[in-house]
Amino acid sequence: MCLGIPMKVVSKKGDKAEVRSDKTARQIGIGLLKDIRVGDYVIVHAGFAIEKVDEKRAKETLDIIKEISL
């Protein structure tokens, strides 16, 4: 099973971005998507943004992941 994690874009440069979710921060590739901006939420899988999602969906998904992790 593959799991993509919603993360918020906090900075970007070219086809790379720094994203965060709770206490986790990482550098990812954003070249697969167009029009990604700082403040957007993206689904991250294997080091790449694979889908842009709205903030509500991202937060709902993160809440579900937290419940499963307990």
Q: Which of 43, 46, 47, 36 is nearest to 60 (CA)?
A: 43
How many structural domains is the chain composed of?
1
pLDDT tens digits for range 26-61: 999 999 999 999 999 999 999 999 999 999 999 999
CATH number at 60 reads 2.30.30.140
**Mean pLDDT within 12-34:** 95
Structural domain span for residue 64: 5-69
Token representation of residue 70: 């307990």
| Residue bearing tokens 């918020």 | 8
Please state, as a whole number, how many other Cβ atoms lie within 10 Å of the Cβ of residue 29: 16
Cβ–Cβ under 8 Å, residues 58 and 40: no
- Rg over alpha carbons for the chain, rounded to the nearest Å, is 11
Better-predicted residue by pLDDT, 3 or 20: 20
